[in-house]
Amino acid sequence: MLREYGDLRITIEGGVATIGMLPSGDAQYKRMRETEGKVKKFFPKHKEVGEAIEELRGDNEVRVIVLTGLGDMFFIPPSAGPGIQAHDPGEDWDLSQGLARTFNAIIECEKPVIARVNGAAVAYGSSLVFACDFVVADEEALIARSEEHTSELQSRLHLVCRLLLEKK
């Protein structure tokens, strides 16, 4: 029996474990405000993905792990809107440790880990995609590494990708 994860939904069917990530970005901020009353910089999802992969790695019924987003995106960072807490050294440390643990879990997993990219995969999302063994992407998927996390930048990147695809 798998443990419960806050921002992940895990299903196992026919030897395939699917880790579905709840929508990220500003939707994640909204969920945090509603459930916790405040917004933190560190999202448990960064750590939970690694913990889930480690748990599934030990399940002999699981032959393949699929990582995907639930909804119309894989993973995008939130915009830096109002209500964002300033940097907190403890949260920064937790974030760093969570990221390291997640990437190590993907790399060390003997089972194939497949990224099923169903939309935008930006920043941490693109890192997750490229850490996986295989990538299956929707035609409309956007994979981008960006330090500027604004919807305007994401729109521009999406437009550029679409224009390039149309030229082919």
> Where in the sequence numbering do the catalytic residues fall?
147
Percent of residues in the chain assigned helix, strand, coil, to nearest 5: 40, 25, 35
In this structure, are residues 137 and 161 in contact, taking their beta carbons and an 8 Å threshold? Answer: no
What is the token pair recorded at 52? 């889930």
Q: How far is the C-alpha of 7 from the C-alpha of 99, rounded, in Å? A: 15
Q: If 0-12 CB within 10 Å is exposed, 13-18 middle and 19+ buried, where does residue 6 land?
A: exposed
- Of 131, 143, 154, nearest to 49 by C-alpha is 131
Which ranges of the chain would DSSP assign to H, the alpha helix? 26-36, 44-57, 89-108, 124-131, 151-167
- Of 143, 124, 141, nearest to 50 by C-alpha is 124
